[in-house]
Chain A
Amino acid sequence: MKPIPQEPPRDHMFLNMGPSHPAMHGIIKIQLELDGETIVGSQVEIGYLHRGFEKTCENRTYTQVIPYTDRLNYVSPLINEVGFCLAVEKLFGLNVTRRCQYIRVLMSEISRITDHLTCIGASAMELGAVSAFLYLIKARETLYDLIEEVSGARVMPNYIRVGGLKSDLPEGFEERTRLAMGEVRSVLDETHRLLTRNRIFVDRLSGLGVISAEDAVSHGFTGPCLRSTGIGYDVRQAEPYLVYDRLDFDVPVGETGDNYDRYLVRMEEMKQSLRIIEQCLAQMPQGPYQVDLDGREMTPSEVIEGMKAKPPLQPIRQARIRLSPDLEGTEKRSVQDVVADDKTVVFPPKEDTYGNIEGLMQHFKLVMYGHGIRPPRGEVYQAVEGGNGELGFYLVSDGTDLPYRLRCRGPCFHLMSGLSTMIEGETVADVVPTFGSINMIGGELDR
């Protein structure tokens, strides 16, 4: 977009939308040049949420980077974590267990649904359909409950690890997931009834915010925005990662590339995500849980002293450890099926850390500054399908425990570069649904 440096006509008005604006998701400034209500020129200014993610990650170990990746696309955090951990595992050439792959897919799809729910909910609210927003947010809460069960936090889970996961799924998770899926399904049906053939909604969205397929590709669009123009590129099908090649799902593709198509694509994607989740739950290999001989639990210090006692207190190898609440999930039965086999990458279960010297040394060396996870020298690019498109991590490693260069290719950056094309020629009021349908997330855009 090239501003022509000339005096604007006297009847053009300049208006700033943002950076602080009720309808701007995240923070962004759109400078508009208006002729009456029509936008004749626009310029998008970003960078208000730039937090120096890439520079920070050059000074953190690989495990310490994971909470930072949560905060990129903060409405679908698990997808970011999966992308980053897959990149590091690619550097290592490491394969995670089958169960771990299924759980990662499951969590990614749950995050994708939360992303789309938020997008459509916020879009609807800005057009005045507040009830739709509340229904969708209520559905999102059920998903947040699931994520909280698994990782302890609703929005910033910090659940995926290099080589596996923080811990296995809790007991009864499948049952609760099915209930949540039912809830989401009924809310989606309700939303369809409220919005999809709603006269006002259709009028405000269709035919506006149009972008052609060539322009979309030229701008680097990926994800629902690209698929709404008719190009069916989805990373999960084009370059399947984890277990997506074993799952059966469709990729919805639109036709005209307007706001309404993007809305429909997102609604249908959520249905497909629900389908994927059901298949995951059905196909996930069940791991055997460790059988305890005695029932008695021991604190870690008892285990250590028990090792030294003559005669020993009880068979130490099978002892159940009673951990403090913030360490729950790190026992052997919680991690043995979901972490890879490589001792130089994954943390040992707490029975080993407190129970034998080898586990203690392994844990110690992985945590110590300057040691820890050290991938071989090299560079990789790993793409996953984020809520907004192809989320890529370009990772350059120099063999030490800190990444040399971590570049996050956020899909929103490219979507926003095309925003000017989409809104020029429309009225000011049309910026709101157009911008909402792109689902710009500030964390991913500015990093």
Chain B
Amino acid sequence: MSSSPTPELLDKLAERLGSHLLRRDAFRGEATVVVAPQAWLETCRFLKEDPELAFGLLVDLTVVDLQALGGSPRFELVAHLYSIRKRHRIRLKTPVPEDQAQVPSLTPLWKNANWLEREAWDMFGVRFLGHPELRRILLYPEFEGHPLRRDYPLRKRQPLVAERDVEEPRSMVSEPVRYPVDPRFKTFGV
């Protein structure tokens, strides 16, 4: 069964995007929309906040390296969005050139974009502008290269990592501390 948004909604999106819409595809009941990189953040915001589209769930954010297919530009950033209320899905893509592999970050819109974009950076080397802390997530910091790129050999060996010095820990407090208000703890007066 098709999970694509209705054609009217897709036309509404196309109208809103104007010239930034590069391509529309439909395959096996799935809708794919390709936008220009300049419109990436704005498109996602529109898809999330428009009440008829209402794509509130960022299902997945990943990159496809088209180098082995001779694709140009080399990378394609792919986001899957889902609307729980409307029960429709959309695949949003944007081409990312190799020499300028940067796109705006989606962290202002969705919280899991933080980790998803860190994984995209880790595996492909695509930068996300505005990301609070773009560092490796699945691999260790001394890892060299971006392994899911097609030119990274399958069986490449990494150099041995020297033992790290123990660093002083930095504070991880992110918001004002909320101490537990559970009345049980009141009995342990300090």
Give chain A's interface residues, CB within 8 Å of chain B: 1-9, 12, 14, 31, 33, 35-36, 38, 40-43, 46-47, 50, 52, 54-56, 59, 90-91, 93, 207, 215, 217-220, 222, 231, 233, 238-240, 378-381, 383, 390, 392, 394, 396, 398, 404-405, 407, 409, 413-414, 416-418, 420-421, 424-427, 446-447
Q: Chain B contact residues (Cβ within 8 angstroms of A): what range? A: 35 or more
Within 8 Å CB of B24, what residues of A? none
**How many Å lie between the Cα of A109 and that of B80 in the bound state?**
26
Q: Is the interface of A mostly helix, strand, loop or mixed?
A: mixed
Contacts A380-B27, A394-B80; is A220 near B172 (CB within 8 Å)?
no
Starting from the known contacts A3-B173, A424-B175, 14 additional A-B residue pairs (CB-CB under 8 Å) come to: A1-B172, A1-B174, A33-B171, A36-B190, A41-B171, A47-B139, A217-B56, A379-B27, A383-B59, A404-B64, A413-B116, A417-B111, A420-B174, A424-B178
Jot down 28 A-B pairs with beta carbons below 8 A, ordered by A.
A1-B114, A1-B172, A3-B170, A4-B174, A5-B171, A8-B169, A14-B169, A33-B171, A35-B177, A36-B190, A46-B138, A47-B137, A50-B139, A56-B154, A217-B84, A381-B89, A381-B91, A383-B59, A394-B60, A394-B80, A396-B64, A409-B80, A418-B111, A421-B111, A424-B174, A425-B178, A425-B180, A447-B138
- The reply to whether the CB of B46 lies closer than 8 angstroms to some CB of chain A is no
Within 8 Å CB of B161, what residues of A? none
Residue of A nearest to B65 (CB): A405
Establish whether residues B59 and A93, one from each chain, have CB atoms under 8 Å apart when the complex forms: no
Establish whether residues A392 and B80, one from each chain, have CB atoms under 8 Å apart when the complex forms: yes
Establish whether residues B138 and A41, one from each chain, have CB atoms under 8 Å apart when the complex forms: no
Establish whether residues B177 and A52, one from each chain, have CB atoms under 8 Å apart when the complex forms: no
Residue of B nearest to A426 (CB): B180
Residue of B nearest to A231 (CB): B84
Nearest CB of B to A45, in Å: 8
Choice from A5, A52, A405 contacting B64 with Cβ under 8 Å: A405
Establish whether residues A8 and B170, one from each chain, have CB atoms under 8 Å apart when the complex forms: yes
Within 8 Å CB of B173, what residues of A? 3-4, 8, 33, 40-41
Contacts A33-B173, A41-B173; is A404 near B87 (CB within 8 Å)?
no
Establish whether residues B182 and A207, one from each chain, have CB atoms under 8 Å apart when the complex forms: yes
- The reply to whether the CB of B68 lies closer than 8 angstroms to some CB of chain A is yes
- B112-167 contacts to A (CB < 8 Å): 112, 114-116, 119, 123, 132-133, 136-140, 147-148, 152, 154
